[in-house]
Each structure stands twice: as structure tokens, then as C-alpha cells.
Copies of this chain bind each other. A is one copy, B any other.
Amino acid sequence: MKRSFITEIKGEEEAVLLKGWIYKIKKFKTFAFVSLRDKTGVVQLLLEDLDALENLKTEMAIEVMGVPVKNEKAEGGIEIHIKDLSIIGNVYYDLLPFSINQKKVNTSLEMELDHRYISLRRPDRRAIFKVQEEIVTAFRDYFKGQGFSEIHTPKIIASGTEGGSELFTVNYFDTRAFLAQSPQFYKQMMVGAGFESVFEIGHAYRAELHNTWRHLNEYVSLDVETGFIQDEEDLMNIQQQFIQHLFQHLKSSCEKELKMYALELPEIQEIPRIPLFEAQRILLEVYDKKSPVGNLDAEGEILFSKYVKEKYNSDFVFLTKYPAVKRPMYTMPDEVHEGMTKSFDLIYKGLEITTGGQRIHDYEMLKENIVKFGGNPEDFGFYVESFKYGMPPHGGFAMGLERLTMKILELQNIREATLLPRDMGRITP
């Protein structure tokens, strides 16, 4: 007999074979209700053999043959009258580390992360990673659809892209290597190598000494780079179209999950593009809020998002024209605004989720800019070398998958949006 998934049951089958975990057990005088959970949902089983109940415990993996019967009182309108039940995955615990079949979880985030194999069994926790998976699907489908090529670039590298202070070191045979902070150099290289437009879904590593609600030391970076652009406006157009596609995709693929989090995603219209200096001026004038040189701080991002929401009814805002001193040496200078660059951040509900911009594509200009930044072009080896052979105007951006997931679902901590987070204090499980 072929296995049925819970949400597939129509109630008209003569019998169904179900597999899953015991979610809840509720004993009555002459029978018991056993809730069965599989990856699609939960269904109520009617158990009339109370002797069998003695062997059952929540979270056991079981296999059940039973008859579906319509019952309006049961979740989903169907219950299953058990004909045969066998335990296929035993349990060896006295008490679960925390209960998972109650509305509220009686535990801390740290405890949940320590026991991810338990906490993820909660449908609301599982829902986060369904949404995350669909973000990745939307990303891949959108960019493949636009003719971008998916690449896989090395994470073990010989030197850092943006200075060495936030790099993890790897002992690589007889030498020292690093974990890549981003695929920046490689995605640019592949644009020049003829791929023209590329994307990558891969890990990035930051040895940052931050242990906050929005920092991870290992995260999944959604990277995009494309050649033959006019300027950074092209890139913001692409980013905006992707966000529009993403929200459409999530609405249709994650209806259940969004409902679980009581969220309704808006139609994404035009995302405002506001120069950073203008945002700083507004923050000062409207909120009396001072900003650091060439950036907004965390509070500024939140306040400015609030302003944009009120004024433009947009959860998103592009901050543009970051000053050169605050961007990496490969960022294309803005020819109109002295000292500024053709770069941008995308702020979503008060948090930066994207950094992007046009890159310098001319070999001589790149070398000059490295010198201007106090560096030596020779230290950049193959990176600078690759610009000798006809690099077209290009640029791109990168989004943090976990940040995007967190903000879409309005979670409080980025670790909630990470299957198995890595931070300053955690490398297990």
C-alpha cells in the first residue's frame, strides 16, 4: 500500500497508510485521540485499543493503516480510525527538553537551538524554513529566468577581499588560507570571463566580534553580478524586480506559513531611491537624529524606514550614493557627486538586507583607486590582473538569506531564521 501524506487525504478512501510522528495523545475512558504529524500537516487518529496506548509516547515515529472518516470537530475535518499501528522509530527520553505541542514554547531560544531536532518539529518553527526555502527558489528562478548563470566559487581563499580583520583562518596543508567573506572577486571574474550575468547561493564567513540579534558568523549569501550595465540604476531595477517577484512567489507558495505568522505581504510598487546624504538630512530635520559620517546607524535605519513607510507607503528603501571612503576600493565613483559612489544599500523594515553597486571595470582606474585607498595593486594578484582583458561595465549586489527571512517573518533574532546558527558562542549542534 502506498503511503499517503496527511494533507492529501480526501476522506473518501477505503483505507490509508500514514507515516509520521505522534504529536499529541489524549486519553478518554474508552478510546484515545492520537495526533499524527507528517511533513504536510497533522491529523487526528482514533485509537480504540487502549492497551496499545501503553506503548505509545509523543514523538515516536509510527506507521498507521486506518480508515478516514469525516468528523467536523477534528482538525481538517477528517479523523482516521486506526486498523493497524506500528512503531518504526522508538523514543528514549523521560521528558522532552521542552514541550512542542503547546501554543507557547516554554523555553529559551538558546535551548531551542541546542535541541534543533526537537524545536523544528513545531509547525511554526518549521514554517520559517519553508519560507526560507521559497526565498531561495524565487531567487534562483528569477535570475535563471533572466538568463543569469548559477556559479559555485571557492570558499577557501588565499587573501581577503576587503581587508583581513574579519577573516577566519584555515590551516590549509602547509599554508594559511581564509574563509571567503563574499564571492565578490569571483563573481566579477566570471562576468568578465564571459558568463556576463551570474548568481551564487553560498556560504559567506565573517569573523566579526558582534554577537547581536542581527549578526551571524556564517550565513548564506545570495549574490548577483551582471555585466554591460549603464549604471547602478540598472542594478536597483533588477533588485526591485526580484523583490516584486519574491513577494508574489511567497504569497502563492507560503500561504499557510504566512497565515501562521499573521502576515499579509504587500504588493511591491516602486521602491524609493534616496541619496544617503538626503536621508541623513531628513533624519536630522524630522527626528533630530544625528548619523555617523557616511552611513546610518541601526537606530537611523529604523527611523528612516519609518519615515519612508509614512511618506511613500513602502517597507523598502534604497539608500544611494554612499561616500567613497565608506565603500570598498572597487566601487565605481560617481562622476557627478564628488567623493560619492555609484553604490546603494536596500533597507527593509529598518534593516539593511542588500549592499550593491557598480564596480570599477577599467584596469588603470582600479589600480589608481587601490593606491588612493592606501593599498598596493600588486597585493591583489589575480583580481587586478583579470581586469587587463576587457572587463565590461558591471555591478551587482548581495542579500543575506537569513536577514531577509527574519524581516519577512518579522522575527526578533536572526538565529530563529537559521537552521543551525554559528556565532561567537556557538558551533554546535
Contact = CB atoms under 8 A, between A and B. Distances in A.
B192 A117 contact: yes
17 contacts: A5-B147, A21-B194, A39-B149, A39-B194, A60-B390, A61-B228, A89-B391, A90-B362, A117-B189, A120-B195, A126-B194, A129-B151, A151-B419, A152-B419, A169-B170, A202-B202, A381-B428
A355 interface: no
A171 B172 CA distance: 12
Contacts of A301: none
A220 to B, nearest CB: 5
Contacts of A267: none
A175 interface: yes
Contacts of A227: 61
Nearest to A425: B173
Contact of A429 (B21, B201, B382, B420): B382
A193 interface: yes
Interface residues of A, number: 96
Contact of A89 (B60, B217, B392): B392
A96 B427 CA distance: 46
Interface string A85-96: 000111111001
A427 B172 contact: yes
A238 to B, nearest CB: 14
Interface stretch (A155-163, A278-286, A322-330): A155-163
B427 A190 contact: no
Contacts of A228: 3, 19, 61, 63, 88
A393 interface: yes
Contacts of A155: 155, 203, 218
A375 interface: no
B190 A364 contact: no
Interface of A: 3, 5, 19, 21-22, 37-39, 59-61, 63, 88-93, 96, 114, 116-118, 120-121, 126, 129-130, 133, 136-137, 140, 144, 147, 149-158, 168-173, 175, 177, 179, 186, 189-190, 192-197, 201-203, 205, 207, 217-218, 220, 227-228, 361-364, 381-383, 386-393, 401, 419-422, 424, 427-429
Given A154-B218, A195-B39, A120 B190 contact: yes
Contact of A189 (B116, B193, B393): B116
A390 B137 contact: no
A389 B93 contact: yes
A111 to B, nearest CB: 13
B195 A156 contact: no
A305 B151 CA distance: 31
Given A39-B196, A133-B149, A170-B179, 7 more contacts: A19-B228, A61-B228, A90-B390, A93-B388, A96-B389, A117-B389, A170-B171
Given A428-B158, A429-B381, A392 B19 contact: yes
A387 to B, nearest CB: 8
A20 to B, nearest CB: 8
A177 B427 CA distance: 8
A37 B196 CA distance: 11
Given A392-B19, A428-B382, A90 B363 contact: yes
A382 B386 CA distance: 45
B195 A88 contact: no
A37 B170 CA distance: 39
A203 B19 CA distance: 32
Contacts of A153: 419-420
B158 A168 contact: no
A393 B156 CA distance: 36
Closest 9 CB pairs of A and B: A382-B429, A120-B193, A61-B392, A117-B386, A39-B196, A89-B392, A59-B390, A92-B388, A61-B390
